[in-house]
Structure 1
């Protein structure tokens, strides 16, 4: 049995398809920093915790008017439930406040608002914060559930792209509540 006539072209077709599949990633890596940052923020799920949820016609949906603005300042929360059995942490319905053995943490405002967001941060401060897990690169620990350990693996080019994307977003004035440490046991 003879191979099909198109068999010699298969390696060429495979190579072309591979180049087409890799082109967007390569273009994002070498092209527009803001688009690369948008891509990274999307695959890392930044908006999952830093954009509040609101109730929509089909259930909870991201409140895009407050995109990446963190826990809503107008959303006061009652004390969290006590840990019970194997359940030791949880989150609010807005997906922007979390409690656990560390206390209560609130998703930060990642918009470029100069008073309530990261508008006064430098790239160096942002990169240092993401690499060390310290607020502003030298402050209090960045708290769960922020996966700074995973973000710390980004190279300098990707951290710069992520920062440029965040700084290109609309500024949203939203003062996020301060972290509340867990009551001391003793």
Structure 2
């Protein structure tokens, strides 16, 4: 009899929880709302803010500057020449904002993912976004998307997940922030030095 009694106490709890998760009277959850909520969840767990939201120094040290959420490398921050790392286990360096990275590929700057029409994803279509992630190339046909962007992992997302991420990104505040183009590695200088 005890198992039945335990089961009977679970039913009201489940009914209560389902009632809490159900929209209020007159409130309708649309498929678009669900897609945006899913996109927000995916952006959160896939660490997009870790690189695309500039860090600032707060009372406890570096923290994301949420007033510039997902706006990429600050256009006002001109980076000096990247440090040259000696051969060995250290292969890259990054800016204090965590938005500029230097390594064997050159220097990459994290993109503005906000829906700003001029400097972000505001003019992109969901197709542009999916093509970029799937191919690892800007707009699916341009320059390569450079490290540290984890394209090999992100391109494994389903179409539905990529569509949800894009839907969410279109709902966040637009931030006007023109991110610099990537810089190539200093191959010419290295080659010239070794030839002479």
TM range (shorter): 0.7 to 0.9
| CA deviation map 1:139-159 (0-9, x unaligned) | 010000001111111111111
Residue of structure 2 in register with 1:75 after alignment: 77
- The DSSP-based 3-state class of the residue aligned with 2:45 is helix
- Structure 2 gap ranges (5+): 22-28, 192-196
Please give the per-residue CA displacement for 1:7-51, whole angstroms capped at 9, x wherever unaligned: 4566785xx6xx98xx8xxx9x99611110000000000011000
TM-score by length of 1: 0.85
Query: Could you say what secondary structure the match of 1:180 adopts?
Result: coil
Q: Residues 9 and 101 from structure 1, CA distance in 2 versus in 1: closer, same or farther, beyond 3 angstroms?
A: farther
TM-score with structure 2 setting the length:
0.81
* Pairing 1:57–2:59 present: yes
- Length, aligned pairs only: 176
2:37 match: 35
Q: Which runs of 4+ in 1 moved over 4 A?
A: 8-13
- Identify the match of residue 139 of structure 2 among 123, 136, 151: 136
Residue 165 (1) aligns with residue 168 (2): yes
Two-structure CA RMSD over aligned residues (Å): 2.5
**Larger of the two Rg values belongs to structure:** 2
Unaligned runs of 5+ in 1: none
1:154–1:30: structure 2 CA closer, same or farther, 3 Å change rule?
Answer: farther
1:119 to 122, 133, 142: 122
